[in-house]
Amino acid sequence: MTNKLKEKSSNSLIQIPPPSSPSIKGTKRKQSPVDGSSADPKFLAEKEKLIIEIEGLEKKLEELRAEAKKLNDSLGPEINAEKEIQNHCRLLHEYNEIRDVGQMLFGKCAVYEGTTTKKMYEKFGVDLED
């Protein structure tokens, strides 16, 4: 599990901690003079653009946190999200190993019959995407 996600031991809720840097919401936007007498318009425009982008990203982060909380709440206390994720990863790994063995067998059959693996897929009615 990454540093950004923590599992609460009392239930299955996975929480995303608040950002370590302070929010810029509500801060005054100062214009700092470049040459001591006037502010550079390009600099100020870029700064304003970045502040707006940061505010949008902070809003999106809050929405994602709310969505994560809603999804975790819907799991209920009997489901441990971390264990479910680990089980899913284990099953996916097992599936990939079995698929790799199947592809190897298709390759060996193709060599034995002197044809391509693609032709073997067609012969057995397997889609190349499978």
In this prediction, residues 38-58 reach a mean pLDDT of 92
Write out the residue range of the structural domain in which residue 95 sits.
82-130
108 shares a domain with 122: yes
> What pTM did the predictor assign?
0.42
Best CA proximity match to 43, nearest among 51, 55, 52, 34: 34
As a whole number of angstroms, the distance between CA 128 and CA 111 comes to 18
As a whole number of angstroms, the distance between CA 113 and CA 110 comes to 5
Among the residues of 7-129, which ranges form H helices? 41-75, 81-113, 117-123
Q: Does 44 reside within a domain?
A: yes
As a whole number of angstroms, the distance between CA 117 and CA 127 comes to 12
pLDDT digits (tens, 9 = 90+) for 79-105: 777 888 999 999 999 999 999 999 999
Q: Does 60 reside within a domain?
A: yes
Q: Does 58 reside within a domain?
A: yes
Q: Does 89 reside within a domain?
A: yes
Q: What is the structure's pLDDT at 37?
A: 44
103 shares a domain with 75: no
74 shares a domain with 48: yes
